[in-house]
């Protein structure tokens, strides 16, 4: 329903010295894809990634940002720094950052607002653990994550946000959610957005699925009405696999 966007999340993989050539490979391999193609890279890979993607259809994103403009935050990177480099997208609230780096629904909201203020497109991640799924609280949890992420964000701004539904149990495990499971939650997310904003606005959001998406399952997942692309981990590290996914849109 929203615009199709397939974004790679490299996580802590690839070196700055291999980035330029790899992004050039992605540019070649993804030519003719029927979706927006994004590579989200580690901070230190952003400059060569942007150089390689300049003037092409591929957009570059970061994997995180800080919510303050500037100041005494050793080791952090601001939205202005990303914009200054030419970054266009930023992943916010990935489950790995929620688990290992103290990311909370509150910091996700602050970061989303900051990204929007500075003209970056946030890719906001939500998703349940296996324990939460088995307890039958998936949609309750996702509703809280979405409502808190979008607190104090107008409908006009909200529609610029990409939402990635990533069930934690499917990330890096080879265990993909079935297309029906993924569609059920992505459709549920659209209903939450319709309640928060309006029915018509909810149709404009891009809602991605992420979690062991690969060339073999991408077409079936993205054929579902509420799945508008993917956030790809492992399969984004091999240009041929990533390109096959972008061509499944």
- Whether 57 sits among the annotated catalytic residues: the reply is no
CB of 97 or CB of 197, closer to ligand 13P: 97
Task: Kindly tell me which residue out of 112, 145, 212, 226 binds ligand 13P, with binding defined by CB under 6 A.
Answer: 212
Binding mask 16-45 for ligand 13P (x = CB under 6 A): ------------------------------
Round to whole Å and give the CA distance between 72 and 177. Answer: 41
Task: Kindly tell me which residue out of 9, 33, 145, 208 binds ligand 13P, with binding defined by CB under 6 A.
Answer: 9
Task: Kindly tell me which residue out of 48, 122, 210, 229 binds ligand 13P, with binding defined by CB under 6 A.
Answer: 210
Cβ-proximal residues to 155 (8 Å cutoff; 6+ apart), any chain: 197, 198, 201
Residue 181 CB burial class (10 angstroms; 0-12, 13-18, ≥19): middle
Task: Kindly tell me which residue out of 233, 239, 241, 249 binds ligand 13P, with binding defined by CB under 6 A.
Answer: 233
Round to whole Å and give the CA distance between 57 and 50. Answer: 12
Scan residues 89-128 and list those touching ligand 13P (CB under 6 A). 94
Angle at 155 between CA 83 and CA 108, to 5 degrees: 55
* Shortest Å, Cβ 186 to ligand 13P: 15
Cross-strand pairs, 126: 165
Task: Kindly tell me which residue out of 42, 48, 122, 211 binds ligand 13P, with binding defined by CB under 6 A.
Answer: 211
Cβ-proximal residues to 202 (8 Å cutoff; 6+ apart), any chain: 190, 191, 193, 194
What are the residues binding ligand 13P (CB under 6 A)? 9, 94, 166, 171-172, 210-213, 231-235
Catalytic site residues?
94, 166
């Amino acid at each position: 329903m929203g615009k199709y966007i397939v974004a790679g999340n490299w996580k802590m993989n690839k070196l700055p010295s291999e980035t330029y050539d790899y992004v050039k490979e992605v540019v070649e391999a993804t030519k003719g894809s029927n979706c927006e193609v994004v590579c989200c890279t580690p901070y230190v890979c952003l400059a060569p990634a942007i150089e390689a993607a300049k003037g092409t259809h591929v957009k570059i994103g970061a994997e995180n940002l800080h919510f303050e403009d500037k100041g005494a935050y050793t080791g952090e990177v601001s939205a202005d720094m990303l914009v200054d480099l030419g970054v266009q997208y930023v992943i916010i609230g990935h489950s790995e950052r929620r688990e290992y780096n103290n990311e909370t629904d509150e910091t996700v909201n602050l970061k989303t607002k900051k990204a929007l203020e500075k003209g970056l497109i946030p890719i906001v991640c939500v998703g349940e653990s296996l324990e939460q799924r088995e307890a039958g609280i998936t949609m309750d949890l996702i509703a809280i994550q979405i409502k808190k992420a979008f607190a104090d964000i107008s409908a006009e701004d909200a529609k610029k946000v990409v939402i990635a539904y990533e069930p934690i149990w499917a990330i890096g495990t080879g265990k993909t959610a079935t297309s029906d499971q993924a569609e059920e939650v992505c459709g549920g997310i659209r209903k939450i957005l319709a309640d928060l904003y309006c029915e018509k606005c909810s149709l404009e959001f891009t809602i991605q699925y992420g979690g062991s998406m690969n060339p073999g399952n991408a077409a079936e997942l993205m054929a579902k009405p509420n799945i508008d692309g993917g956030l790809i981990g492992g399969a984004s590290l091999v240009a041929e696999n990533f390109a096959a996914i972008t061509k499944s849109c």
